Structure formats: C-alpha cells, structure tokens
Structure 1
Amino acid sequence: MDETMIITLSVVMAVAAVLLAAVSMLMAGLEGAIVRVTRANVNNAMIDLQTDGELSHFSRMKLVGRMHRVQRLLANRHAASAACSFMRITCNVLIGALVACITGLFSFPWWCSLIAGLVAALLMAAVSMVVRPRDAHSMEPLEFLLKHVSLAMTAFYMVPVARGERNQNKRAELSDDEALEKLQQDQGKAALERMIETNRFDPEVSEMLRSIMLLSDTLTREIMVPRTDMICIEQTETLGDFLRLCSRSGFSRVPVIGSDVDDLVGIAYLKDAVRATSYNPKALDRCVQSIVRTAMLVPESKPVDDLFHEMQVTRHHVAMVVDEYGGIAGMVTIEDAIEQIVGELEDEHDRKQHEEPEQLEDGSWSMPARTPIADLEEIFALNIEEDDVDTVYGLLTKILGRVPIVGSSAVTHGLKLTAVDSAGRRKKVSTIVVERVPVESNEETGKQQKQPAGDGTEQKDEEDE
C-alpha cells in the first residue's frame, strides 16, 4: 500500500472517529435529558405551542410532530434511556477500534495499536463521565430533547435491548424529579395517616386532611366539566343574547367559540356585559366578541394541587382544559378544585334532585331531572326505547343534541319535556315538566326546534309559544 493511500485512509478514519465522538456526546446528553423531562413539561409546552400566534402553520405542525415523538419516548422512558446509553458505549468502542487501525497503518507493532485503541476508548469514556454533557443540558432538557429527538428515536428503534425493556413497570417510566416527588408524597401520606389514627383530630378535619393529600393524585380531567356538558356561545351573537343566556343558564362565565368548540375565542364575563350595556342600551346589539377575555388553558393531565395554585397566582376562576392534541376537552373552575377538599358544595335548591315525581293541577307531571325513564314509562303507560340514556334529563339532552338549560323543550313519543328549573353550583337542570301533546303534534317527535337564546342549543323557548 503506497503512502498516499495510507494517508487517505488515516484521514477518513480520523474524521469518522471525530463524528463518533460527537454522536457519543449527544447520546450522553439525550440519556440525561430523557430521565429529566416530565410529562407535565411536555403538556405545558404543547399548550404554549398551540396558542403561539407568531408561528406559521408549517412550523407549528413540525413542532407538534416532534412533541408527539418525545411523548412516545417518555412512554418508554427506561428503554429509551438504555438505548442511548448502549449507543454511547458502542461509539466509544468504535473510536478505540478506529484509533487502533490508524496506528496499524503506519506499521506500529500490534501491541502499540492495541494500547492506542484502548487508551482512546478509555479517554472518550472519561470525557463522557468527567465533562458530563448530561449536566450541561440539565437546565433545558426538553429543548435539547426536542432538538435531537430524531437521533433518540433512531437509537430507540435500532438498539435490540430497547425492545426488551419496553415492558418495564410504570415506576421505571417516571423521571428523576417525579420519582423523588412521589417518594416524598408517600412519606407524607404515611406520616399523616399515623397522626389521624391517634384520634387527635375531629373526623371532619381528618377527612379534609386526607383530601388535601390526595390532590396531587387527582388529575384535572377527573374534576372538569366535559365538553359535552359545556354551555357555549358563538362569537357572532350579540350582548343581548349573551345576557339572556346567562339569565337562563345561571352562569356568569361562558366560553365564546367560533365554528366549533375547538375553535375557542375566549371567555365572556357577565359583569363585563352588564358594565357595557347598563348605561348604553344600544350596546345590546354589539357583538359578544367585543368583551371576550383571553382564556386560561391547562392540560387535562395537570394535578389538581398544581391547578389550584396556578389559578390562585394568575387570579383566574375558570380555565379551559386541553387534551394532548390541542383540542378542548372541557372546562374547570376553582370551585371544582375546592370541592376536592371540602366536599360537594350544594345549595338550598339541591333537595329538588331527591324529590319524587309530582302531578300538577293541569295534568302534567313535575319530575326531578334524575327520574329514571322506567318511572316515566310507568306514569304515562308508554314504551320508550332509549337504551343509551337512563334518566329524563338524559332523554331531553339526547333529543336536543346539546346541553339543556331552563326553557329548553322538545317533543318525543307524544310527550313534551320542558326544563323549568336549575340547581346546584353547576346550574344543571333540576326539574323537568312532562305533559302529553295532541296527536297532530306527534309528527314533530324527535325534531329539534330553534332556540333564540344564542347558546348553540336547538330548542323552543316558552316565551315564543
């Protein structure tokens, strides 16, 4: 082999060794980032990404794709970290082999080549341990992981050991911070249980203390109002429509939407509408979008204790819950979080939910919303074949296709169901009046009728009759 060929091969192998060293350092950084990134960090970053108006659609979708790859890595955290560690060690070994080959090309004794390769591999391993590139990215592990997620995914699918580590238990999937926090919470719960068992506290206080400790284990999705139960108003409606909706539904904060629920514009507040229209009746014709406030967005996987603290700091009483894909999953209020501590908050009207059906003077029946359909069938001697609903409230909701509010009415199976009262903190319909309708009205059975209130629910208002 001539001298030119030897020099060319040496340069190529040296460049390969340098590239392998760079890959080894990146793998060390990814190995540390994977065990540090928490799922809460990813969820919060996803919400910030979805609400960032400065990004173009192409850039946003590109970053969302990276976020989803990061979520897949975190779902197999232990296996992904092991794959990066395996690739880092492999790169160090290959660097030693290349250095040994380079020394062999220049006619050094075999034992010199062996020692040179061993020293190079140990030196690279020492750099990974002493310089510790993993610590260099400990302050921004999510940004580093997003930047090099393609390299991490390649290592995850290429390394055979990763496929054998995917079935690890859930404890192995926690990050270092999450594991430490969980250990501290378990110790605190154990200490609290020992104090409660000594009977030094009142039973109600003991139950409240237990509820406080469980806040960190309760997720926002468990206490939120699902999107199917949300009362919304379209951005094209007027302030007059909004005031009527608030009067009938009992809510003072209503989400404002565009084409659908996922097209969230913001939150409209009753006090803002009253302030705008009380001394200016002409403002009733203004668009409700003129008083919209920016909505607070939280991920559905956010623990309730963190949610409660964030709502206190930001002074928000209502927040919109976002799922992992950026869609609206529901809404949550600060009262929902408080109920997890002090228990269900009921008012003087909630007793109506537990009353029995009562016949009125005009022959119609006043029924609690929770009345089973079987009781309705027995009273009116009908066979209502609705297998997917169990209560009178569920039947009215199914006919309307949206959440009923006071004044909502619909006709089905020769019966007219009208929501006449609401109760509870969430202002859900509590009483429904059921009456027979003339035979000629049966043709309208199951048909949805128009509602003038502007809440997006198709219904007939009693004032139009």
Structure 2
Amino acid sequence: MSAQMVLSAIGLVLAALLLVWLSLVMAAAEGAVSRVTKSSLNNLILGLQTDGELSQFSRMKRIDKVHRVQSLIVDRHATTGSCAFFRVSCNILTGILASCLAALFALPLWANLLCGFVFAILVAMVSVMTRPRVSGARKPVDIMLRHVRAIGLAVRLTPFARSAREERGGKTGRFSDLSDDEELEKIQIEQGRAMVDQLVEAGAFDPEISEMLDNVLTLSSTLTREIMVPRTDMICIGQDTSLSSALKLFSRSGFSRVPVIGEDVDDLKGVLYLKDVVKIIAFEREAGSRTAGSLAREANLVPESKPVDDLFHSMQRSRHHLAVVVDEYGGVAGLVTIEDAIEQIVGELEDEHDRIQREEPQKIGPNVWKLPARTPIAVLEEIFEIDIDEDDVDTVYGLLTKLLGSVPIVGSSAVTRGLKLTAADAAGRRKKIATIIVEPAARSAEQGGQAEREDAAASQE
C-alpha cells in the first residue's frame, strides 16, 4: 500500500469521525433550541456583567456568545430545521466516506456498499446510546453556548429553512398569531400533558389526580374573565346603606364580602367585609347609624385578561380573597375570588350548608309550587295556565331578576301576571338562587293580612 493511499485512508477516517461528532452536536442542539428561554439568557448576561472575578476580555467574550444564542432562538423553527438538515446530511456522508474508504482497498462493489451500510448502522447505534437530544434538553443553555459557532454556521448555510417556515406561517397563520415565547410555552404545555397522560396510562396516578395536573397546565392559558362572576350577577351595596341593613344583606345573601358602589356598579367605592361590620356593631353603640361606605376597604382590582395562575399567586401574596375585575376601558366587568381560581384545579367546592338543587318542579301546597331556578318560563305557563309574554328571558330566575331590576337574594319577591315569585334558597359556593316559590298573588296577600291580624290580637292580649 502506497503512502498516498495511507494518507487518503487517514483523511477519510478523520473526516468520518468529524461528521459523526457534528451529527451528535446537531442532535443535541435540536433538543436544546426549544428549551432555551429569553429570560434565562437575560439573567445570564446580568450575572456576567456583575461577576467581579472575570476579566473584561473574558466577560465580553462570554456575553458575545450569549448574544449569538439570542439571535439563534429568535426563529426557533428555522434553527431547529437547520440542525436537523445538517444532522441527516452528516449521517449520509459518513456512509459515503465509509464506502470510499473500502474502495481504496479495491474491494468489490457489494463490499463497498456493505461497509457504508454497516458504518451508518454503527453511527446510529452510537447516537441512540449517547442520547444527545436528552442532554440538550437537560442543559439547553450550556449546549447552545458550547456549540454556538457550529449551530450558527448551520443556520447561515441553510437559508431555505427560514423561508420554508415563513411560507407555512403565511398559509396557516399558526406562527403569525403567536409570539416566540408563546409558542415555546404552548410546546411545553403540550409536552407536560403528554407526560401526564403517560403516567396515568402506566397507573402511577388516579384519574382524579391526572385531571388536577391537567388543570394546572391550563391555568396559564385560562383568563380571569372566564372564571369571574359577571357584573350582571354581582350583589352590591350602596355606600349610604346603614350597617344594620348591610348585616341583613350579608345574612340573606350568604356572602362575607360585598362590593360597595355609588351611583352605579362602575362607581366602585370599595369592599365591605362582614367581620368588620360585626365587630363595629358589637363594640360601638352608634354603629347602626354608620354607613357601608365609611367602613369599606380599598378594592383589589385585576384586569380581565390576567391569566388565572398569575391571579392566584397575586391574591395569595396580597392576602386578598376577593378582587374586582375591570375591563380594558376601566369599567367593572365582574368579581373573582381565590376560590374561583382553586376550583380550576380541584373542581367545584361546596360546604355543608350548600343544598342540592332539585331538577323537577315540586308542588308544596294548594296551588303553590317550588321551581328550580332554571325552570323554563314555558313550564311555569303550563302549570298555572297563563301566558307570560317575556321574550328577553327564558327561565324563572331570569324573570325574577328582570322584575326586581337586580340580582335576587333569598327572600326577594316580585309579582307579575297575578303570580308572586319568591327566591326561596341559594345553593353552591356562589350562593346563586336555587329554587323559587311561585304562588297566586291574592293568596299571598290574604296570608299576609291574616298574619297581621293574629299579631294585633296577640299584642292586645
């Protein structure tokens, strides 16, 4: 064998080993690109700028590497596509070089092809055993900083990766609607859900636990306006209302915190707490003459676009259990409690005082019916054989709300078409009216007059 053949063989071997190394680097970069965040790089720059042990030259050199990584993750899909292209190309070229190396020894054609195939299989086995993508996912920043030059060269040599991504984004709109960080967050959430599903299938978790974990993953994509009590269902109290009247409202509504308003709901003055009212009434003689506005605390305001996970943590830090939700124009959109956020994880919360709403109307006396709040008006018309011409409401609860002009609480009543509707009781943590008593208005008036006569006779005795 001549010296020229030996040098050629050594060159082919070194080139093949270099391609194998480059293939493993590109595989590790594929796993790292999708997990490097902008915030981690910004924090790294701040750490380098404040590191007193580094010389100015070393500091600027490392910061320059971080800036290069930042430019690579601006378009993650293009960077990932470039790394994948070079990884596949390197694997193909290693097989070709192995075939060329076999050809130097004047082997037959089938032997050359077999050598190339076997060497490609060995490279694949090495890639599987070393798992470069796993190492890239575990230490994404370190991998990107260590191989930033090779990754940057791969991106510059594959400009078609960027153009292909832009073409897909223009057709589907998938990439144009989401920012880079939002895409990364979406990918991580999908990966988390897949991991939870795998654990459930393996029997590691109960179905209830897996549902809670899945709910946790969706907190960041759920907005406050999706879980809040809308302003139409809010129970408020006027700022000039006496504390004795406020105490009755607390008792009838079942709430311990009520917003205090002025002329309308948007004229928010604060939030009145039941414990404050009880404390004042118990220890001050003239407390009954004080108004709700004088005792209202400052309201905690949150935007309706705030993600539920941020809402939960902010309420936890500020120790507020109730917040008033405002829209983009500054108007009151509703209110939300910390229990609403918790329910997004664990499901509906109820206590021993909550009652289960009946699903069917119940006759409780002569011509007296107890109807679920969601009973259609058509059922009410059929029971009492009357015609209630209401086009803008569909349920008995909606009819009572319209007649009152406000959200009904326990004991609220109104009369229409000769029928008296009375809110009987509330159910659920939000204390929404569960059942409504419907009876003829004349019968109710007679019972009221008889009760007054009995009270008068008892007082004379």
Provide the TM-score with structure 1 as the length reference: 0.56
Pick from 175, 184, 187: which aligns with 2:188?
Answer: 184
Paired with 2:354 and 2:420, the residues of 1 have a C-alpha distance of: 24
Change in 2 beyond 3 A, CA 1:203/1:320: same
Q: How much has 1:166 moved relative to structure 2?
A: 10
Pick from 389, 394, 415: which aligns with 2:398?
Answer: 394
Paired with 1:253 and 1:408, the residues of 2 have a C-alpha distance of: 19
1:79-158 aligned at under 5 Å gives the runs none
Pick from 375, 379, 385: which aligns with 2:379?
Answer: 375
Structure 1, unpaired ranges of 5+? 1-35, 37-77, 79-164, 442-462
Contact 1:406–1:422, Cα closer than 8 Å, also in 2: yes
Q: How much has 1:390 moved relative to structure 2?
A: 2.1
- What secondary structure is seen at the aligned counterpart in 1 of 2:344? helix
Q: How much has 1:344 moved relative to structure 2?
A: 1.3
The amino acid that maps onto 2:189 is Q
Contact 2:227–2:340, Cα closer than 8 Å, also in 1: yes
Q: How much has 1:354 moved relative to structure 2?
A: 2.3
The amino acid that maps onto 1:386 is E
Q: How much has 1:380 moved relative to structure 2?
A: 0.5
Pick from 330, 342, 348: which aligns with 1:338?
Answer: 342
- What secondary structure is seen at the aligned counterpart in 2 of 1:251? coil
In the alignment, what sits opposite 1:407?
411
Q: How much has 1:192 moved relative to structure 2?
A: 2.3
Pick from 240, 243, 252: which aligns with 1:239?
Answer: 243
Q: How much has 1:230 moved relative to structure 2?
A: 0.2
In the alignment, what sits opposite 2:178?
174
Q: How much has 1:416 moved relative to structure 2?
A: 0.6
Contact 2:355–2:426, Cα closer than 8 Å, also in 1: no
In the alignment, what sits opposite 1:320?
324
- Corresponding pairs, count: 280
- What secondary structure is seen at the aligned counterpart in 1 of 2:199? helix
Contact 2:239–2:292, Cα closer than 8 Å, also in 1: yes
In the alignment, what sits opposite 2:283?
279
Q: How much has 1:372 moved relative to structure 2?
A: 2.1
In the alignment, what sits opposite 1:426?
430
Paired with 2:345 and 2:239, the residues of 1 have a C-alpha distance of: 36
Paired with 2:338 and 2:233, the residues of 1 have a C-alpha distance of: 17
The amino acid that maps onto 1:248 is R
- What secondary structure is seen at the aligned counterpart in 2 of 1:172? coil
Pick from 259, 272, 289: which aligns with 1:268?
Answer: 272
Change in 2 beyond 3 A, CA 1:241/1:187: same
Change in 2 beyond 3 A, CA 1:361/1:303: same
Change in 2 beyond 3 A, CA 1:414/1:358: same
Q: How much has 1:351 moved relative to structure 2?
A: 4.8
Paired with 1:355 and 1:347, the residues of 2 have a C-alpha distance of: 20
Pick from 199, 203, 227: which aligns with 2:203?
Answer: 199
In the alignment, what sits opposite 1:460?
none
In the alignment, what sits opposite 2:307?
303
Change in 2 beyond 3 A, CA 1:243/1:171: farther
Q: Does 1:435 align with 2:439?
A: yes
In the alignment, what sits opposite 1:416?
420
- What secondary structure is seen at the aligned counterpart in 1 of 2:270? strand
Q: Does 1:250 align with 2:254?
A: yes
The amino acid that maps onto 1:271 is K
Pick from 288, 291, 298: which aligns with 2:295?
Answer: 291
- What secondary structure is seen at the aligned counterpart in 2 of 1:438? helix
The amino acid that maps onto 1:184 is Q
Paired with 1:351 and 1:322, the residues of 2 have a C-alpha distance of: 31
- What secondary structure is seen at the aligned counterpart in 2 of 1:360? strand
Change in 2 beyond 3 A, CA 1:352/1:204: closer
- What secondary structure is seen at the aligned counterpart in 1 of 2:283? coil
Provide the TM-score with structure 2 as the length reference: 0.57
Q: How much has 1:374 moved relative to structure 2?
A: 2.0
Change in 2 beyond 3 A, CA 1:404/1:168: same
In the alignment, what sits opposite 1:220?
224
- Higher-Rg structure is 2
Change in 2 beyond 3 A, CA 1:166/1:228: farther
- Ranked by relative contact order (alpha carbons within 8 Å, sequence separation 6 or more), the top structure is 1
Contact 2:197–2:210, Cα closer than 8 Å, also in 1: no
Paired with 2:359 and 2:183, the residues of 1 have a C-alpha distance of: 49
Contact 1:416–1:436, Cα closer than 8 Å, also in 2: yes
% identical aligned pairs: 64
Paired with 2:170 and 2:279, the residues of 1 have a C-alpha distance of: 58
Paired with 1:198 and 1:217, the residues of 2 have a C-alpha distance of: 27
Contact 1:233–1:254, Cα closer than 8 Å, also in 2: yes
The amino acid that maps onto 2:178 is L
Q: How much has 1:410 moved relative to structure 2?
A: 0.7
- What secondary structure is seen at the aligned counterpart in 1 of 2:365? coil
Contact 1:347–1:423, Cα closer than 8 Å, also in 2: no
Paired with 1:436 and 1:261, the residues of 2 have a C-alpha distance of: 34
Paired with 2:299 and 2:335, the residues of 1 have a C-alpha distance of: 10
Structure 2, unpaired ranges of 5+? 1-37, 39-74, 76-168, 446-454, 456-461
Query: How much is the aligned-residue C-alpha RMSD, in angstroms?
Result: 2.6
In the alignment, what sits opposite 2:389?
385
Change in 2 beyond 3 A, CA 1:385/1:349: farther
